[in-house]
Structure formats: C-alpha cells, structure tokens
Amino acid sequence: MLVGLGLDYGDISLRALKSIKNTDFIYFEKYTSTISDKYIQFLKDEVGHDIVQINRSDLEEKSSALVKKAVNSIVALLVPGDPLVATTHHILIESAYKAGVAVEVYHSSSILSAAIGESGLDIYKFGPTTTIPFWKDNYKPISFIDTINKNVVNGNHTMVLMDYDQSTGATVQLSEAIERLLFSEKERGYKIFNERRIMAMFDIGKPTCSITMASTAELLDVYAKAVKRGMLTIIVPGKMSFAEEELSSRFLQDVRK
C-alpha cells in the first residue's frame, strides 16, 4: 500500500493509520520532500513496530526487491504529501501490478492543491508546474524559465517548486531561486519579472505558513537576506481576473517595513 503523509505532522488519514497497523513491513521515503522525525516516531508508537527509511534507488533501480517482498507480505510505503504526485510511485505501482501484487492507495494533502488553494488564484488557470534545481559549477539548467514564460504568454499561472536534497536536507532558498529566475530570464531574453509580483510561500500546510506577494526586487532585497524560513514554493501569476486580484491582495505588502 502507498500511504500519503500530507504536508505536516498528523496529516495521515484515520483510515490509512488503521490500515498500516496490519502490515508486515513499513517503509518511508523522504527524497521527494521532508518528514519530521517527530512524525515518524508518532507513527512508530501508533503501529507498534519499526518503520524503515529507504532511499531513491530502493524505489527505482532496486524496486523489484520491494515488490518481491510484497508478493507474500503486506508492505506499506509512507510518502510525504500525496503518494501519486511523484512519477516514481506510479512506476512502482506498475511494477507491482505486473508481479500480481494488489496496490491500495491512501491519499493525503499535496503541495499542488494546498498552495493553489492558499494563493486565491483559479486552479483552472494554472499551466504546467516546474522546479528550480540545484546548480553546480558545470550544471546550470534553466529550462524552468521556458515553462514559466510559456504560461505567462498564455495568461496562465505557474507553480514553481524547489529542488530538495534528501542527503543534506537542503532546499533551494529564496535568494537562490530569485537569482536563478532573473539570470535565466536574461539568458533567454524573456520579459517576465520586470514589474510582476510573485508569491513567496513558506511552509504551506503548516502552522508556520506565510505568504508574501511582492516584486522579485523587493523579495531579493529583504526576504532573501533573512534567516531560513522553511520549505519554499513560488507562484508566478499570469493574467489575473478581478476576483483573483481581490483574493490575492491580502498577501501584498511593503516588505521593506
């Protein structure tokens, strides 16, 4: 079974929690997003036995071993957010079906639906989502800017996710994200961020959630210099209706105050 853990501690559904108590093996992954140690300990206490962390290779190159174990045992994989958002989990389901293993899915909250809902923007006006990756000296991909530009040209909004490194727990921070957005925009010759306000959304789905809508210059000048604020998601609005402008206006503020 694939079990979504949602966006914060305790977001697992009661139905899912009841089901994993009857499993033989429980694993969790956090290479797609973070899961707090407190959350995992809570689940261990609830189910009464150990929960083992597995890494990306266990779900990709070595996924056959996990599927093989599920042939004669009940295996649960706990996933941050919703389990069917990441392509890796779809591939795992396909492998299970081919091996004759039945799969149950327990959905939960996802950054995709939560961030859009919190933004006040129309879900039907969002174009494709993109991700800002980590850059290295010899690896600086900028294809994310093409997705944003295409959405803007079409009048659509864009959700921009940040890359996450499971081994270090690091994510792309706001200063890095904005610098890469502006660099990539210049490289491609686009005109996206001149006067456009974007949404910087931190810790969506958690009590520490905060959202600010401001220009890239304002965000880079103040927020980018602040202490790390948590998991970041950026929304680049396209053409907004009157209702969208009204609903999102509560996030507008002078960030220099």
Sort residue 147 into left (φ over 0), alpha (ψ -120 to 50) or beta.
Answer: alpha
When comparing pLDDT for 213 and 166, which is higher?
213
User: What number is the average pLDDT over the span 178-205?
Assistant: 95
What pLDDT was estimated at residue 227?
52
Amino acid at the residue 218: E
Q: What is the mean pLDDT of residues 210-223?
A: 87
Span 206-223, average pLDDT: 88
* Mean pLDDT estimate for the chain: 91
The answer to whether residue 201 scores a pLDDT higher than 90 is yes
* Alpha helices (runs of H) in the chain, residue ranges in sequence order: 14-20, 37-47, 56-59, 63-72, 87-98, 111-119, 143-153, 174-188, 216-221, 242-248
Measured CA to CA, the distance from residue 257 to residue 249 in angstroms comes to 17
pLDDT one-digit tens code per residue, 20-53: 999 999 999 887 788 889 999 999 999 998 999 9
Average pLDDT, stretch 91-110? Answer: 94
Mean pLDDT, residues 211-220 taken together: 91
Tokens (6 digits) for 226: 């602040």
Q: How confident is the model at residue 56 (pLDDT cuts 50, 70, 90)?
A: confident
Question: SS3 breakdown of the chain: % helix, strand, coil, rounded to 5?
Answer: 40, 20, 40
* pLDDT tens-digit map of 224-238: 565 556 789 999 999
Task: Go through the domains of the chain in sequence order and give each one's CATH number.
Answer: 2-106 (3.40.1010.10), 111-251 (3.30.950.10)
Judged by DSSP in three states, 241 sits in: coil
Estimate the crossing angle of helix 63-72 against helix 87-98, to 10 degrees.
50
Name, in order, each residue with C-beta under 8 angstroms of 30's C-beta and a sequence gap of 6 or more.
Answer: 53, 80, 166
Which of these ranges, 28-37, 47-56, 147-156, 195-204, has the smallest mean pLDDT? Answer: 28-37
CA atoms of 89 and 56, how far apart (whole Å): 11
| Residue-level pLDDT at 63 | 85
The mean pLDDT value for 63-88 works out to 91
